[in-house]
Amino acid sequence: MHFSQYTDVNTFYAATKDILMRHEAQNVIPLGNALIGVRGMDKTDWRDPANWFMATVSDHSGIHLTAIMTPPHNLAIYATDNQNNPQAISCLIEGLVQTGVEIPGILAEKSLAEMFAPLYCARHLKAAKIQMNQRIYELTEVNPAIPKAPLRLPQERDLSFLPYWNEHFMQEGLDKAFALNDDAEAHRHLIRMGHTYIMEVGGTPVSMTKITRRLETVCVIAGVYTPPYFRRKGYATAATAAASQIGLNQGYKKVVLYTDLANPTSNSIYQKIGYRPIGDSLMMGFE
């Protein structure tokens, strides 16, 4: 097995694109990150590839493992065709050691994560902790019986509430401490990106969702959030259904989302909209 580290995102993308595209819906994270680097239009925060770790593990038959990390996020790993090769996993771990790269955790298909984590932790005397047990869903058609609400893109005036919604989503959905970024320009930048959609009822914003990681045939729904005082009214369902239809109308063949299996309500809602599970993944942290 041969470990290869890449310092140029274009070279990494050229080497791994065809392999990752075999399971495009599953690989929205590594493909989306690589495309962010290739397009180079936004180098704010974690999006500058100069700070990334990119690697593959291969032998005479081709690439067995693809890995990309955009600090401070976890290392995203994909085993080609979801065929886990113990020798490739060991080679990747040794490559991380030899290059002096420490990782905060991993994001990978469940069986791959369960193979990688104990080997990495034994090598580094660390313990693995599941941060999120995820299910990956994809949709090709929105259930016509689900009501869809009109959505709009955010405007400058929405800075009065949107930063708080984004931070509370991070706090609730990703278990991160609430710490509002007081840089107004950073929030304006998020608005200009055109990913966020807002649902209103009677002129009052009640829910939001985002369409992100627009790949070749797939786009991703993320950041679904409804403030507590507007919940249990079907707003998140209506907003997600509408955003999913927007994605399809924009020409994408599939719309993908990740869910937390610890939240049975959201998993049930998404399936009613028309989403079908295609696999499970684990987000694991190393302590």
The pLDDT of residue 178 is 52
pLDDT for 168 = 85
- Nearest in space to 25 (alpha carbons), one of 131, 105, 117, 138: 138
Give the SS3 label for residue 233: coil
Q: 154: which residues sit within 8 A by CB, 6+ positions away?
A: 162, 191, 196, 198
Cα separation, 257 vs 269, in Å, equals 12
Q: What is the Cα 63 distance to its own chain's centre?
A: 23
- Residue 41 has what pLDDT? 74
pLDDT at position 8 is: 96
Would you say 31 and 20 are in contact if contact means Cβ atoms under 8 Å apart?
yes
State how beta strands 218-225 and 254-260 pair. parallel
Contact 105, 131 (CB under 8 A): yes
Count CB-CB contacts under 10 A for residue 3.
19
CA gap 231, 233 in Å, rounded? 5
pLDDT of residue 264: 86
pLDDT in tens, the chain (287 residues): 999 999 999 999 999 999 999 999 999 999 999 999 998 877 778 889 999 999 999 999 999 999 999 999 999 999 999 999 999 999 999 999 999 999 999 999 999 999 999 999 999 999 999 999 999 999 999 999 998 889 999 998 998 888 888 888 887 766 655 566 667 677 777 778 778 999 999 999 999 999 998 999 999 999 999 999 999 999 999 999 999 999 999 999 999 999 999 888 888 889 999 999 999 999 999 99
pTM above 0.95, yes or no: no
